């Protein structure tokens, strides 16, 4: 029987830190699906007892060595990663009786000030517990939302990560009338150092990214039925950025909170296929699966999806010439070539509803041919797609070495794209943001259904993708095998879907941000449309231009686009009072809500997997404009720029 929260309640939880023991004797920290709230609610008081213990954690399955770190456990139960879920109604008072049994470290347990109406700059509620001591923490949570509670100790890594080991758990504050059982899902993203490979003198070990305590392919497999409404809460408990991408469907961003949220990003109600989740932020989202099949939801920061440093090195360097590289030469890339922040979703057909039939003849037919350019080293190859449409006005389209041409499609017009592989390695194509049949989604070894799984395209082989774009907008296509290597090599390009086959009236420009072939550091330059030094773009005075920005660099998740009248670009980001104004009109190919389509300063973070459309009207002939793309603040290093001439 469901019961409503009628009055303010009290939470009491007890936290302890396990005494160090031998490796073999440590308790095992299991994954936490965040479905069941910890503690006992009675008469407005939620009593929760937690222990923070040193544990063995198996993010990649029990067959691999464990990671030794600290994790929370509800008293008398096994430890969990993330810690036990604390879920309470608004107005709850938290009383925490915390015991620190970690004999060498002083423990501090935190509850954020924003949970009771404070700001992110406020210290929040916390308690400091010396080794072997017990202290009480009191806090009253009054603001509904998605938060974390966490425990820290003295080392710098613990302070920077805002936790010791994985001493973190979800704290969800519901409205006062919330009832159980809750029908949403809660997912906590964590980042932990691998204690097995740690080298404390230089680094804490390779990063391990996990969702609810597991890394792909051992993350929870989710199921849904066509027409279901799914409500998800994502809490980023890590000090890294995660652009979260859903294959095959749009999702609605209902709420976005955190200390580093870009004000240009936070308007609720936007429909997206990718949303940038900044450090220590949280998102509530809603989506409706419209087609059956297997789909992925994952972080689009490609360096977060490789299994380990050695695999990343193979992807980037290419390995010895003539050697097949496992990371990009596998028929099951989804299971063998991806790791970390990925979840698989199986959508079942709705009973009694037939899948739409193929429209048959009358499709527009294109060929997308993958080639490798000669004269480039194996450590930094140049690969690209060539677009062919026999019988058309432009039967062959090429961009340049290291980049692929724009595919222009028409809304509502069925299209067949035959992907032909003339490379010496496997590839596959993902139609990013396009709503299409799962089988053609391009994730080798996963997309499709049990009877038909999307394959990787072997050298000399081909694969046909068929779909009908249901909306106009700005999208992209890119390889979905050995992504870091093949993206930087150039196997990616824009997709522009128009309402008709006629050319656009007025200025319509595409700017595709990608990583340069050489280097994957945040300070390395970016390319726009495949070049480090883009040509001058011509716009026309008094005429509204549509500027389409597409982001797919390997690093720089905070790459920020500016349009300025400043005549010269500084290498560092000086205070710019000459930024012009533009009007945002679309995100990821979906029109923005009317409230968001208002003129503002021409500044936008464009992260991996995101597209943005803006309208900009130059004021006069001869006006000097410049598009600048800069890295994260505060330095704002210049990554690439595009001069604009106004005629």
Burial code (b: 16+ CB inside 10 Å, e: under 16) for 333-363 equals: bbbebbbbbbbbbbbeeeeeeeeeeeeeeeb
Do 516 and 459 lie in one domain? The reply is: no
Using DSSP's 3-state secondary structure scheme, residue 414 falls into coil
In a domain, residue 187? The reply is no
Give the least confident one: 34-48, 535-549, 591-605: 34-48
Q: Write out pLDDT tens, residues 274-309.
A: 999 999 999 999 999 999 999 999 999 988 887 654
In a domain, residue 387? The reply is yes
- Could you report how far apart the first and last alpha carbons of the chain are, in Å? 70
Number of domains in the chain: 4
Do 324 and 456 lie in one domain? The reply is: no
Residue in 640, 620, 642, 621 with CA at minimum distance from that of residue 629: 640
* Structural domain that includes position 548: 504-647
**In angstroms, what is the C-alpha Rg of the chain?**
25
In a domain, residue 165? The reply is yes
Contact assessment for residue 383 and residue 375, using Cβ atoms and an 8 Å cutoff? no
Q: How many Å apart are CA 251 and CA 90, to the nearest integer?
A: 27
In a domain, residue 202? The reply is no
Residue with tokens 């009248």: 565
Average pLDDT score, the chain: 86
pTM of the model: 0.91
Q: What is the CATH number of the domain that holds 30?
A: 2.60.40.420
- Residue 619 CB-density burial (10 A; 0-12 exposed, 13-18 middle, 19+ buried): exposed
pLDDT recorded at residue 359: 61
> Distances from the Cα of 381 to the Cαs of 83, 86, 430, 486, in angstroms?
44, 50, 21, 9
Contact assessment for residue 246 and residue 577, using Cβ atoms and an 8 Å cutoff? no
Do 387 and 499 lie in one domain? The reply is: yes
Find residue 409's DSSP bridge partners: 497
Do 496 and 512 lie in one domain? The reply is: no
The pair of structure tokens assigned to 487 is 């993206």
Helices then strands, each counted (H, E), the chain: 4, 45
Do 391 and 521 lie in one domain? The reply is: no
Do 541 and 493 lie in one domain? The reply is: no
Of 313, 348, 383, the one marking the end of a domain is 348
Q: Write out pLDDT tens, residues 116-167.
A: 999 999 989 998 888 888 888 888 999 999 999 999 988 777 878 889 999 9
Percent of the chain with pLDDT over 70: 86
Do 232 and 319 lie in one domain? The reply is: yes
Do 497 and 515 lie in one domain? The reply is: no
Q: Give the start-end residues of each E strand in 377-490.
A: 383-388, 396-397, 407-410, 415-421, 429-432, 462-467, 473-479
Q: How many Å apart are CA 349 and CA 227, to the nearest integer?
A: 9
The pair of structure tokens assigned to 109 is 């347990």
In a domain, residue 193? The reply is no
Do 484 and 532 lie in one domain? The reply is: no
In a domain, residue 521? The reply is yes
Of 179, 205, 234, the one marking the end of a domain is 179
Of 119, 152, 179, the one marking the end of a domain is 179
Residue in 367, 486, 374, 477 with CA at minimum distance from that of residue 425: 486
Do 469 and 523 lie in one domain? The reply is: no
The pair of structure tokens assigned to 515 is 């990583």
508-515 and 526-528 beta bridge pairing: antiparallel
Confidence of residue 570 (pLDDT cuts 50, 70, 90): low
Do 453 and 512 lie in one domain? The reply is: no
pLDDT recorded at residue 185: 97
Residue with tokens 């980037």: 316
Q: Write out pLDDT tens, residues 428-487.
A: 999 999 998 888 899 999 999 878 899 899 999 999 999 999 999 999 999 999 888 999
Which residues, 6 or more positions from 216, have their beta carbon under 8 angstroms from its beta carbon? Answer: 298, 305, 338, 339, 340, 341, 342, 343, 344
Do 325 and 398 lie in one domain? The reply is: no
- Residue 262 CB-density burial (10 A; 0-12 exposed, 13-18 middle, 19+ buried): middle
Is the pLDDT reported for residue 363 higher than 60? yes
């Amino acid at each position: 029987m469901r019961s409503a929260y009628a009055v303010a309640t009290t939470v009491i939880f007890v936290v302890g830190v396990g005494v160090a023991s031998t490796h073999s004797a440590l308790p095992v920290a299991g994954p936490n699906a965040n479905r069941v709230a910890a503690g006992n609610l009675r008469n407005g008081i939620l009593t929760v007892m937690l222990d923070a213990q040193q544990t063995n954690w198996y993010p990649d399955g029990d067959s691999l060595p464990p990671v030794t770190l600290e994790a929370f456990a509800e008293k008398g139960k096994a430890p969990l990663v993330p810690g036990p879920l604390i879920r309470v109604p608004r107005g709850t008072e938290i009383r925490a009786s915390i015991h620190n049994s970690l004999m060498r470290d002083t423990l501090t347990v935190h509850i954020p000030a924003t949970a009771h109406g404070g700001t992110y700059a406020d210290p929040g509620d916390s308690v400091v517990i010396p080794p072997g001591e017990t202290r009480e923490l009191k806090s009253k949570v009054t603001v509904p939302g998605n938060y974390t509670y966490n425990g820290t100790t003295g080392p710098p890594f613990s302070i920077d990560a805002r936790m010791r080991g994985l001493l973190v758990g979800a704290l969800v504050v519901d409205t006062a009338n919330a009832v159980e059982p809750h029908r949403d899902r809660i997912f906590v993203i964590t980042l932990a150092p691998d204690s097995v490979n740690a080298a404390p003198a230089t680094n804490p070990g390779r990063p391990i990214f996990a969702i609810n305590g597991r890394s792909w392919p051992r993350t929870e497999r989710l199921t849904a039925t066509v027409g279901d409404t799914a409500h998800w809460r994502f809490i980023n408990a890590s000090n890294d950025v995660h652009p979260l991408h859903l294959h095959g469907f749009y999702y609605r961003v209902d709420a976005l909170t955190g200390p580093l949220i870009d004000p240009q990003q936070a308007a609720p109600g936007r429909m997206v296929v990718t949303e940038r989740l900044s450090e220590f932020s949280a998102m509530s989202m809603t989506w409706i699966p419209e087609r059956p099949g297997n789909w992925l939801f994952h972080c689009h920061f490609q360096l977060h999806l490789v299994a380990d440093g050695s695999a990343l090195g193979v992807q980037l360097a290419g390995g010895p010439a003539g050697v097949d590289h496992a990371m990009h030469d596998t028929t099951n890339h989804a299971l063998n070539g991806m790791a970390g922040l990925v979840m698989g979703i199986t959508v079942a057909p709705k009973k009694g509803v037939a899948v739409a039939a193929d429209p048959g003849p009358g499709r527009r037919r294109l060929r997308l041919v993958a080639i490798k350019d000669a004269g480039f080293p194996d450590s930094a190859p140049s690969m690209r797609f060539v677009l062919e449409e026999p019988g058309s006005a432009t039967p062959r389209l090429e961009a340049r070495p290291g980049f692929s041409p724009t595919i222009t499609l028409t809304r509502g017009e069925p299209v067949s794209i035959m992907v032909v592989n003339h490379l010496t390695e496997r590839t596959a194509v993902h139609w990013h943001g396009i709503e299409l049949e799962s089988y053609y989604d391009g994730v080798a070894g996963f997309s499709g259904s049990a009877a038909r799984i999307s394959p990787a395209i072997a050298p000399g082989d081909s694969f046909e993708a068929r779909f009908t774009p249901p909306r106009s907008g700005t999208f992209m296509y890119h390889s979905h095998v050995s992504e870091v290597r093949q993206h930087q090599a150039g196997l990616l390009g824009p997709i522009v879907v128009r309402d008709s086959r006629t050319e656009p009236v007025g200025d319509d420009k595409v700017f595709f941000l990608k990583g340069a072939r050489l280097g994957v550091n945040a300070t390395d330059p970016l390319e726009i449309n495949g070049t480090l030094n883009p040509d001058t773009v011509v716009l026309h005075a008094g005429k509204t231009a549509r500027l389409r920005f597409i982001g797919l660099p390997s690093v720089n998740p905070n790459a920020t686009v500016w349009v300025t009248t400043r005549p010269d670009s500084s290498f560092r980001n000086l205070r710019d009072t000459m930024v012009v104004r533009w009007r945002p009109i679309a995100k990821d190919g979906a029109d923005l809500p009317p409230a968001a389509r208002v003129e503002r300063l021409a500044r936008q973070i464009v992260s991996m997997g995101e597209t943005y459309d803006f309208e900009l009207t130059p004021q006069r002939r001869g006006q000097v404009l410049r598009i600048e793309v800069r890295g994260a603040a505060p330095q704002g290093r210049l990554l690439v720029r595009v001069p604009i001439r106004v005629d």
